[in-house]
Chain A
Amino acid sequence: MSNLRSQEGPYFGEFGGRFVPESLIAALDELEATYNAAKADPTFAHELSELHRTYTGRPSIVTEAKRFAEHAGDVRIFLKREDLNHTGSHKINNVLGQALLAKRMGKTRIIAETGAGQHGVASATAAALFGLECVVYMGEVDTQRQALNVARMELLGARVVPVTTGSRTLKDAINEALRDWVANVDSTHYLLGTVAGPHPFPTMVRDFHSVIGIEARQQMLNEFGFLPTALAACVGGGSNAIGLFHAFLDDEEVRIFGFEAAGEGMDTDKHAATLNYGRPGVLHGAKSYMLQDADGQTSESHSISAGLDYPGVGPEHAWLKDLGRAQYMGISDAEAMSALRLLSRTEGIIPAIETAHALAGALKLGKILSAGSSILVNLSGRGDKDMETAAKYFGLLDSDGQKGSNNAK
């Protein structure tokens, strides 16, 4: 397995494809052609890297988390700081790339789905920067648990549409975005935020995020002189994870670990551990693992983290799992929240709850890997948006938002 990096869609093994209504095929073809032309055009790469340098703030740094690592056993832990990007997460990498493509296609309107709000905020930001109209679909449940991000998107000039169908979370936001796209495909680009969906999205979104791993790999070599023993990233749809993993896929000595949301626990049915507990099926335009019942109806996922609360996963992850190149494990809400607090108190870095799953995973890996190992964690997002959830969870606020006294939890 020395040539995994060169794999392109539409298929990753048996996964991927384009399981969408015929009405969308022309738009997918146009997007693929535009993307292929852009890839071959040096001005596109230059434009994107200049945006990353002068707007996103790339390259993002690598921070060694020494005090945090003391809690993980005899290992070193390194953080790839995507939380320091403009808008506070890795999502901007893909959004700027796709917004440039939208401009190339002459589209004046972008639509996006969002769970935690990070992708919605990034999309609204790019729309403001490029002068595009922006509509963000967000499950009603998520608009409530991520109210601050709704305000951010609106301040940036986007319209946020709360989705009230189905389970009212990320999966239903994607359904609504697809319905909008079918009706408005002439003027509109669907700026899909993860490595799921129909071809060319999984390949294209991966490529835009692959800068994470490309930078981190070089930074490890330049600044520390070695490649990490293991990679750790959280996996919902899988965009930040594939962004970190991709550059290392052919480094056989580097072990790769993805951490899914185990919600209330792997022994309950309230989780979002698609690769652990799902089976192959078709959801949102691609074949991959998904959470589904015996009849092929999509099951509802559960996670304290809105960004991981998704019953599907990108097809490349399904392929890497079946190949055995990457391993995927579950992290419960409680484990994630504990890691969130630990990183805050040992390193002065408050991570997003999504990211906290990767950090909890790193703590687990510390017990599995041999002494002296090193773990590179994708610190995919910062926790500002999660302060209300975290404050309530730890009893720092009363339910009415006032300062509380109980932080014993």
Chain B
Amino acid sequence: MPSKTSLRLKQNKESGKGSLIGYFPAGYPSLDESVEAAIAMCQNGVDVLELGVPYSDPVMDGLVIQEATNQALTSGFRLSQTFEAVAKITAAVDTPVLVMTYWNPVLSYGVEKFAKDLKAAGGAGLITPDLIPDEASDWLKVSDELDLDRVFLAAPTSSPERVKNACDLSRGFVYAVSTMGITGARDTVDNLAKQVVSAIRTASPTQNTAVGIGISTADQVVEVNTYADGAIVGSAFVKAYQAGGLDALTKKVQEVSAGLRK
């Protein structure tokens, strides 16, 4: 069965619209509010949702996401609530929901059980920031069995062989890391992003790729979509929510996606 995420990205690319992938952490500031926020994002311009699992040691995340996920944990977020959130979001909207999680929570829960519960909740698959394909044999197997998306990362420092491997083993899209650094808004999208996308295109003409890290404005989203299949925005949405709750988040999503709907 073709990946729903992949179909969505390809349709949007062919129609000349491009895609916005939006991140929001589950359980922030509470489970219900995070579900409400995620649904609002999907209804206001986000084409693929990236639902983050709060984790105690998020080494790829900058301060904005660290603070939000830490708050979720402090307020008592439990891992199993991830599936509850996915189920509620997918019941309300047709947007593919990818879960972004560091690997230890999945390992602790049991890779197969996590995958099955995610599937049962209607989730599309996983984005795994600290799991490289080399260490992913269990996840490769179970995601094949269950037809789940698996998004691996390609970085500016990745060798052509590693980029090829990420392309071959990813389903949905390959996450092109735009810059050497952690999540958080930056004034400009690094030129390295184009190089990473180009390396991905060279390795696989058919694989999708979305660019993430440092993207926060409508102009950046439009620009990234001129060469990639999607732009990933995270910290900017979390920051908007921190500043002004659901209304501010909704406005920010509308604003950031505006260029894609013209």
Binding site for B on A (CB under 8 A): 17-23, 25-27, 29, 165-166, 171-172, 175, 178-179, 182-186, 281-285, 287, 290, 292, 294-298
Contacts and interface: CB of A to CB of B under 8 A. Distances in A.
Given A178-B59, A297-B56, A22 B158 contact: yes
Interface string B138-175: 00000000000000111111110010001000000000
Grouping DSSP codes into helix (H, G, I), strand (E, B) and loop, the A interface class, with mixed when no group exceeds half, is: mixed
Contacts of B156: 23
Q: Which 9 A-B pairs have the closest CB atoms?
A: A296-B108, A26-B157, A295-B79, A23-B155, A296-B105, A183-B181, A22-B153, A297-B56, A298-B56
B130 interface: yes
B108 A295 contact: yes
B227 interface: no
A295 B153 contact: no
A295 B57 contact: no
Contacts of B62: 179
Contacts, number: 109
Nearest to B61: A179
Contact of B131 (A19, A23, A171, A186): A19
Given A25-B158, A185-B180, A298 B132 contact: no
A166 B56 contact: yes
Contacts of A25: 132, 155, 157-158, 162
A22 B159 contact: no
B134 interface: yes
Nearest to B133: A22
B209 to A, nearest CB: 13
A82 B182 CA distance: 38
A22 B155 contact: yes
Interface residues of B, number: 40
Nearest to B158: A22
A188 to B, nearest CB: 11
B181 to A, nearest CB: 4
B158 A179 contact: no
Interface of B: 55-60, 62-63, 66, 70, 73, 78-79, 103-109, 129-132, 134-135, 152-159, 162, 166, 177, 180-182
Given A22-B162, A183-B182, A296 B104 contact: yes
A166 B56 CA distance: 7
Contacts of B181: 182-183
Contact of A298 (B57, B60, B109, B134): B57
A281 B158 CA distance: 26
Contacts of A165: 63, 66, 70
Contact of A23 (B66, B78, B157): B157
Contact of A282 (B78, B107, B134, B152): B107
A297 B105 contact: yes
Nearest to A312: B57
A171 B57 contact: yes
Contacts of A295: 78-79, 105, 108-109
Nearest to B81: A295
B152 A22 contact: yes
Contacts of A296: 79, 104-109
Contacts of B159: 26, 29
A183 B180 CA distance: 5
Contacts of A22: 132, 152-155, 158, 162, 166, 177
A15 to B, nearest CB: 12
B169 to A, nearest CB: 12
Contacts of B154: 22
A312 B156 CA distance: 30
Given A20-B130, A182-B180, A281 B153 contact: no
Nearest to A17: B135
A90 B182 CA distance: 33
A287 B153 CA distance: 20
Nearest to B60: A21
A297 B55 contact: yes
A227 B90 CA distance: 66
Nearest to B78: A295
A22 B129 CA distance: 8
Nearest to B54: A297
Nearest to B129: A21
Q: Which of A179, A287, A292 has the most CB of B within 10 A?
A: A179
B85 to A, nearest CB: 14
A27 B158 CA distance: 10
A182 to B, nearest CB: 6
Contacts of A281: 104, 107-108
A283 B162 contact: no
A184 B157 CA distance: 12
Given A19-B131, A182-B60, A26 B158 contact: yes
21 contacts: A19-B103, A19-B130, A19-B131, A19-B135, A21-B153, A22-B166, A23-B155, A25-B158, A25-B162, A26-B155, A165-B70, A172-B57, A179-B59, A182-B181, A186-B180, A281-B108, A282-B104, A282-B130, A297-B73, A298-B57, A298-B104
